[in-house]
Amino acid sequence: MTEVEELNGMLAGKVRHVIYLLIALAMLVYALPRLELSAPWSIMSVFGLVWIGFALIIITAHVNALLMNEEKRKELARIKKAKALLWEQKLLQKATLSRKARG
């Protein structure tokens, strides 16, 4: 992959994160006045608090993705690949043991 293609891919990813971040912020701004948060521990207030918590997690994740440097991104990709390989090896090992146990 050339540097230009890699840069275009990074920019496309950044644009995607900005769009999702703006959507999540808009949803939060739209929903805050409509959520019932004043009632003490009713189902409505618990739902509102959980909804706000999830929205804040999404916003934080997209801000983190926008601020993450390339070195950290590559390190996370390497860790993700290693975990996937480990899961694959465990599944193959379980399948092999299962076949041996059946006979």
pLDDT by residue (tens digit) across 64-100?
999 988 898 889 999 999 999 999 999 999 888 888 7
Nearest-5° Cα angle at 40, 36 to 41 = 85
63 by DSSP, 3-state: which? helix
- pTM, two decimals, is 0.66
Q: Look-up: residue for tokens 């739209």? A: 30
For residue range 21-34, list pLDDT tens digits in order. 999 999 999 999 99
